[in-house]
Amino acid sequence: MTASNIPESVRAVAADGTQLRYALMELSAQYPDAIALGRGDPDLATPPHIIEAVKLAVRDQRTAPTPVAGMTALREALAHKFQTDNGLPVDADNIMLTTGGQEGLFLLMQTLLDPGDEVLVPDPRYTSYDEAIESAGGRMVMIPTDHEDAFNLRPEAVESAITPRTKALLIVTPSNPTSGIVTEERLRGIAEVAIKHNLIVISDEIYEKFLYDGWKHFSIGSLPGMAERTITLNGFSKTYAMTGFRCGFAAAPKNFIRAMTNVKAVTTGPVATISQWAGLAALNGPKEPIETFHRIYSERRRLMMDGLLSMGLSFSDPRGAFFLWTNSSSVGIHATELSYLLLKEGRVLIFPGTGFGENWGGYLRISILQNTDLLHEALERMRPIINRYRAAH
């Protein structure tokens, strides 16, 4: 990395993935015409029937606080969703609402971990997991994944990383940042490892509705012997374009849900009531908006894939989610420097791979969460910069 090319605000946090991403977002605010291909927040409009449900709840004064775990009707609807979509044997008492999926992650780590406990985490990863684990006194142990295997998780890699201090394994499928998935065959092998070594499995499935090219989502908690040791995290933000509603949910054994609820009771309390009404409307409403979102993302994904290939940039197979995990090593400069130059010279905000783990200085995470006109424009802005620095190196 050529440190002199990077402002101090970015350089000072280069080793902290989460802070690095926020520093680049703050820097991008200096460029009003910047095209943001960084964050994973859907840019599409929340479906109208969800907005209407919120209006009616406010009009009818249905805004009083709910039980800390969430309103019963919503937890019952979520139990039905988990039963029918994911094959999980749950009822309402296995479910709790969280103030976004990220709070769910923090709550479960505070509930699950004792100081010194180890959590196996795939690398690369969304670095909010780091902070949640470390805040509870836990220790991360990285599980390597690789480009050639589409960043699928290998059961043998999981098993080889287990020590006497290992308590849990984190699985993220589809993945942020790689857009890879953990296939059903691998999940079956991982379940055998988890049962053999008595591991808790945390399964983050927030991108479950967005898979492409015939790939299918599979929930590890549906396998024999796994319901009693699996905590499944999800939320409304990605599926229904409801990021700002801050309404996530978790499914877990009942004793664990009670323990998480006790922590939430003395921290944030119940999820905002109007957000819960929005979630209930999302679950009970038409499914066509999800299908429409999927078509839009599929078109954008193909556009970006074609554009990056035309620049000579490769990427891992993007089987799900909203990202292209792009190999930028051919450009010849570190990904953090390249991200800064793309922002400064091209007015395109893209996160470097080091925002998702220190080993990924040759990668960029590029999102597809802009309309096609802006994606075309972003590609045209990127092209001369990529070509110029590749030629110079």
83 in the same domain as 219? yes
Q: What is the pLDDT of residue 17?
A: 62
Rounded to the nearest 5°, which phi and psi values hold at 235?
Answer: -175, 175
C-alpha–C-alpha distance, residues 371 and 226, integer Å: 40
pTM of the model: 0.94
Q: Which helix or strand (DSSP H or E) is residue 18 part of?
A: helix 17-28
Work out the average pLDDT over 269-286: 98
> Could you give the C-alpha distances from 66 to 75, 80, 371, in angstroms and in order?
11, 20, 37
Output the domain CATH number for residue 71: 3.40.640.10
Domain extent, residue 375, equals: 3-44+289-392
Question: In terms of domains, do 276 and 297 share one?
Answer: no
- Does 233 lie in the same domain as 201? yes
149 and 91 co-located in one domain: yes
- The predicted-structure confidence for 338-361, as pLDDT tens digits, reads as follows 999 999 999 999 999 999 999 999
Q: Give pLDDT tens digits for 182-197.
A: 999 999 999 999 999 9
Q: d(Cα 324, Cα 342) in Å, to the nearest integer?
A: 16
The answer to whether residue 49 is domain-embedded is no
What's the start-to-end Cα distance of the chain, in Å?
13
Amino acid in position 240? Y
Grade residue 15 by pLDDT with cuts at 50, 70 and 90: low
Looking at the structure, do residues 261 and 348 belong to the same domain, yes or no?
no
